[in-house]
Amino acid sequence: MAAKYRVAAQMYGFREFLKTPEDIVKTMKKVKKLGYDYAQISGFGVNDMALVRKICDDAGVTAIGAHISLPEFRKDEKKVLADCKALGISHVAIPWLDASQYKTVAEWKKLYREFDGYAKRFAKEGVTVQYHNHDFEFQKFGVKGGKGGKTVLDMLYDGTKDLQAELDLGWVARGGYNPVLWVEKVAGRMDQVHLKDWGIWRLEDGSRRPEFRALGEGSLDWPTIVKACKKAGVKDFIVEQDNQIATGNPFIEYGISRKYLASIGL
């Protein structure tokens, strides 16, 4: 039987519509209608994860993961685990960190040991800890004469054993790297992956910059990337679009992304 892949909505893109329990009820029903049977929890204005789970379940949307910040891990690791249990999820990602706090290889390596500690302890409770990248992790250390060096992200996965990857392939591309090659690099240690697309947007002052686009409306080769992800052992494909500059409406653009993924077999 063919493997079943799950397609989820990363809820951070809907954060303006998740501020109250009533907002969450309405939003999760809309997300379900867009074709998302699964969600990754982030951006909610409610701290009661049991309530969040009930609302999701009532809408027919299953939580399959969450993003929980590094400061929250550091403040109360037991609460982070309790929130995961309340949501009924088996994966939790550290979504971002303040890179300005880590200026040397030694400082980065100390952080990696911290991440692996969380991953080892949470694994004993049946929860997989992941790291979600942006583009700053593609900074290189150790470049000499314009050659060599290793990226922060290379050092992260070389320096950890229990931590899983949750590559954000849009940010990999924005960091100047080939998403397919990075998927191959972390094959076997990535259950979930983030999908986002990029296009160039012209600003009112005439300048141009990369901006988020719905999947299939930007520059990334998704059929090739998805094929590589499947080969690498990815189970969950998570759509994340932080902002929606083309329409200003996450429901429209997440809907475009879901239809696009269906058109390529997801």
Confidence (pLDDT) at 207:
85
Return d(Cα 191, Cα 219) in angstroms, integer. 24
Q: What is the pLDDT of residue 202?
A: 79
Q: How far is CA 91 from the centre of its chain?
A: 11
Q: What are residue 139's phi and psi, to 5 degrees?
A: -65, 140
Q: What are the Cα distances from residue 209, in Å, to 96, 99, 103, 174?
A: 22, 22, 27, 11
| The pLDDT of residue 242 is above 60 | yes
Tell me the mean pLDDT in the region 29-35.
98
6-263 CATH, one of 3.90.550.10, 3.20.20.150, 3.30.360.10, 3.30.70.240: 3.20.20.150
Does the pLDDT at position 2 exceed 70?
Answer: no
Indicate if the pLDDT at residue 3 is higher than 70. Answer: no
Mean pLDDT for the stretch of residues 75-89:
98
Among the listed residues 78, 37, 27, the one whose alpha carbon sits nearest the alpha carbon of residue 258: 37
Reference 74, options 35, 34, 44, 101; nearest CA is 101
Residue 247 pLDDT level (bands cut at 50, 70, 90): very high
- The answer to whether 157 and 182 have CB atoms below 8 angstroms apart is no
Work out the average pLDDT over 47-76. Answer: 98
Residue closest to 92 by CA, chosen among 46, 56, 123, 117: 123
Rounded mean pLDDT of 20-44? 98
Token pair in block for residue 197 = 């697309």
- Average pLDDT over all residues of the chain: 96
Distance CA 38, CA 9 (A): 6
Reported as a pLDDT band with limits 50, 70 and 90, residue 150 is: very high
What average pLDDT does the segment 243-260 reach?
Answer: 96
Q: Could you read off the pLDDT of 167-176 as tens digits, one per residue?
A: 999 999 999 9
User: 86-90, long-range: CB within 8 Å, 24+ apart, which pairs?
Assistant: 86/49, 86/50, 86/53, 87/41, 87/49, 87/52, 87/53, 87/63, 88/53, 88/63, 89/41, 89/63, 89/64, 89/65, 89/127, 90/64, 90/65, 90/126, 90/127, 90/128
Mean pLDDT along residues 185-201 = 96
Is residue 70 very low, low, confident or very high in pLDDT (cuts 50, 70, 90)? Answer: very high
Percent of the chain's residues with pLDDT above 70: 99
The tokens for 198 are: 């990029």
Cβ-based burial of 83 (10 A; exposed 0-12, middle 13-18, buried ≥19): buried
Residue 94 has pLDDT above 50, yes or no: yes
Q: What percent of the chain has pLDDT over 90?
A: 94
Number of Cβ within 10 Å of residue 36's Cβ equals 26
Q: Is residue 83 within 8 Å of 68, Cβ to Cβ?
A: yes
Place of tokens 């990029």: 198
Report whether pLDDT(97) > 70. Answer: yes
Q: What is the mean pLDDT of residues 199-207?
A: 83
The predicted model scores a pTM of 0.96
**How confident is the model at residue 74, as a pLDDT?**
98
pLDDT number for residue 1: 41
Q: Reduced to 3 states, what is the DSSP secondary structure of residue 2? A: coil
Q: Where do the domains of the chain lie?
A: 6-263
